[in-house]
Chain A
Amino acid sequence: MARGAENRQGSRGASRGLSWRQYKAILRKDIVMELRTKEMVTSMGIYALLTMVVYQVALSQAGTAFDPRQIAAGLLWLAFIFTSMLGLNRSLVHEKDQGCLEALLLSPVDRPVIFFAKATGNLIFLGIVEILTVPVFSFLFLQQGSYEGQWWMIPVVLTAGSMGIAGVGTLLATMSVNTKGKDFVLAVLMVPLMYPLLLAAVSATTVAVLGGADAGSQFWQAMALIGVYDAIMLVACFGLYEFVIGA
């Protein structure tokens, strides 16, 4: 299909322009639908909020001596990974139920374009939820104890981590919507694949919260690992998406 589109356009430049327009069209469709229903962001947001309540229960017996900043990064990423799975599952289930995916496949759209458009959409929604969650989380849990890290580190690590989650998650969710146990299968596939990313992201976020003497080097080491993970996994998912979506 990709070849066909290119041939029809004649030159490579025109085809690139076409891909870009297709990408924007799919992305706009997702955003318009979300603006109309507000379903994904509300469900993910409420889910994240409920996670905070569960955290309160988990920490309720920890006592005043315990400093929640030590595990803040872990709690934050835990909330993100679970809300992202909820959102990813919903985003692809919608596509499938409304026959949108089949329509996309029939239209002369490059398959990689579909992948990037869906992944970007998921990234945007996950980003909105993160922007809402982080202040609420720090309001609820990080009132005692001063903030010693550098604030700009947080958006950097959130962006890099979310890119990995959205990219890999889009591929896995596309697979899991066609299985019998949709969201369960997504969780089973996603958590172990995400493990290295989460480990590095929690390390970087902890440095961002706690600071410390060699905070800079530790942060950039973790960021480099996230970057390597993102680069390799996104290329792999991009390559495999064409096969998965065609099956």
Chain B
Amino acid sequence: MRQLKIAVVMLLIGGLLTTAAFFLAFYTAEVQRFGTVTLSEEIDSAYPLVGVSNEGLQYERPWFSQKIFYFHVPVAEASFLVLILSAFFGVRFLTTRRKEYDTKSRIAMETALTFVALTMITGVLWTKASWGVWWDWEPRLTTYFIMMLLMVAYFVLRNSIEDEERRAVYAAAFAVIAAIDAPISFFITRLIPSQHPVVFKSGFATSNLLPFILAQVGMLMIGYAIYVMRMSEERMRERLEVAKEALED
């Protein structure tokens, strides 16, 4: 119960931080620029004129959809950390053979899957808004797509094994190998040259960095809180089962 209280406190702090990050992202963060916009007539713009073509005047295009980034990346990074946590508990299970580590690994994987699903949804919206297509086999999206498949595979594997001990061992082994595979695919998708150049303007101003860091810290706290809450739920359920069985005897 004490853990649950910590989780709720963490959740509240995380909520406050991410809310603060949300407002900072929209009110103080500098608007990034991406591509150009062609207008028919000259305007008194805060965005510089970059060229003149036959169709009209080209201005730098304010990149509003970049605002998704402030939450998309923290969620993605949190998902990655929770996956590694799951693999860590998998290793602990394999060395100690204690059932609680199996439960911890499973709950961590579940949290990671939730986060990866959210990464995918925000990523797809970002792709649509920035590039005009819903899906693009672009390294970032591809990596998380593969990660999502790995996590789904983890649960498919769990559900297809009846024997409890064997299920725990196989799941732990797969969690470890999935956590090793994920960073490899992260790098390989970026290092193999492909048709689509990665379009991403780097160079963050301080006003952009602050909401990003706040969102990152807040999201990690929320992730941790969700994990602890699910864990205490699972523990309670186990204890309840034991008590019920004792009562029936």
On whether A and B touch (CB less than 8 Å), the answer reads: yes
> Which residues of A are in contact with B by a Cβ distance under 8 Å?
168, 171, 175, 178-181, 185, 188-189, 191-193, 195-196, 199-200, 203, 218, 221-222, 225, 228-229, 232-233, 236-237, 240, 243-244, 246-247
Interface class of chain A by DSSP: helix
In the complex, besides A178-B161, A188-B152, A236-B180, 11 extra interface pairs with C-beta distance below 8 angstroms are A180-B162, A181-B160, A185-B160, A188-B156, A191-B149, A199-B185, A232-B180, A236-B176, A240-B173, A247-B165, A247-B166
Whether B181 lies near A193 (C-beta < 8 A) is yes
Q: How far is the CA of A146 from the CA of B178 in the complex (A)?
A: 41
Chain A nearest CB, measured from B177 CB (Å): 6
Whether B177 lies near A232 (C-beta < 8 A) is: no
CA separation between A243 and B171, bound complex, in Å? 11
Chain B nearest CB from A235 CB (Å) reads: 9
Q: How far is the CB of A226 from chain B (nearest CB, A)?
A: 9
Chain B nearest CB from A182 CB (Å) reads 9
- Find chain B residues with CB under 8 A from A244 CB: 169-170, 173
Residue B153 is within 8 A (CB to CB) of chain A in the complex: yes
Work out how many contacts link A and B, with CB atoms closer than 8 A: 91
Most buried by B among A168, A180, A188, A229: A188
- Give the interface SS of chain B, mostly helix, strand, loop or mixed: helix
Stretch of B22-30, B189-197, B219-227 lying at the A interface:
B189-197
A233 near B161 with CB under 8 A, answer: no
Selected from B146, B157, B185, B187, the residue in CB contact (under 8 A) with A185 is B157
Smallest Cβ distance from A239 to chain B, in angstroms?
9
Judging by beta carbons under 8 Å apart, are B157 and A175 in contact?
Answer: yes
> Does B121 make an interface contact (CB < 8 A)?
no
B residues 122-168 with Cβ under 8 Å of A?
Answer: 146, 149-150, 152-153, 156-157, 160-162, 165-166
Contact in complex: A192, B146 (CB < 8 Å) = yes
Whole-angstrom distance between the alpha carbons of A200 and B184 in the complex?
11
Number of interface residues of B (CB under 8 A): 31
Chain A residue numbers with a CB within 8 Å of B205 are: none
User: Could you say which residues of chain A place their CB within 8 Å of the CB of B156?
Assistant: 185, 188-189
Q: Which residues of A contact B89 (CB under 8 A)?
A: none
* Contacting residues, chain A, for B240 (C-beta < 8 A): none
Interface residues of B (CB under 8 A from A): 94, 146, 149-150, 152-153, 156-157, 160-162, 165-166, 169-170, 172-174, 176-178, 180-181, 184-185, 187-189, 191-193
Inter-chain CA distance A191–B185, complex, in Å, is 12
Contact B146 A195, beta carbon cutoff 8 Å: yes
Residues from chain B with a CB closer than 8 A to the CB of A222 are 192
State how many angstroms separate the Cβ of B85 from the closest Cβ of chain A. Answer: 18
| Residue contact B160 to A179, C-beta cutoff 8 Å | yes
Q: Tell me, in angstroms, the Cα distance from A6 to B146 when the chains sit together.
A: 42
- Do B180 and A233 touch (CB < 8 A)? yes
Q: Which B residues touch A181, using CB under 8 A?
A: 160
Pair A192/B165 contact, Cβ less than 8 Å: no
Give Cα A203–Cα B189 distance, bound, in whole angstroms: 11
A191–B177 alpha-carbon span in the complex (Å) = 13
B191–A189 CB distance below 8 A: no
| A209–B78 CA distance with the chains assembled, in angstroms | 41
Contacts of A236 in B (CB 8 A): 176-177, 180
Q: Which residues of A contact B161 (CB under 8 A)?
A: 178-180
Given contacts A192-B150, A237-B177, contact A178 B166 (CB under 8 A): yes
Question: Which residues on the B side are within 8 Å of A168 (C-beta)?
Answer: 177
- Is B185 within 8 A of A196, CB to CB? yes
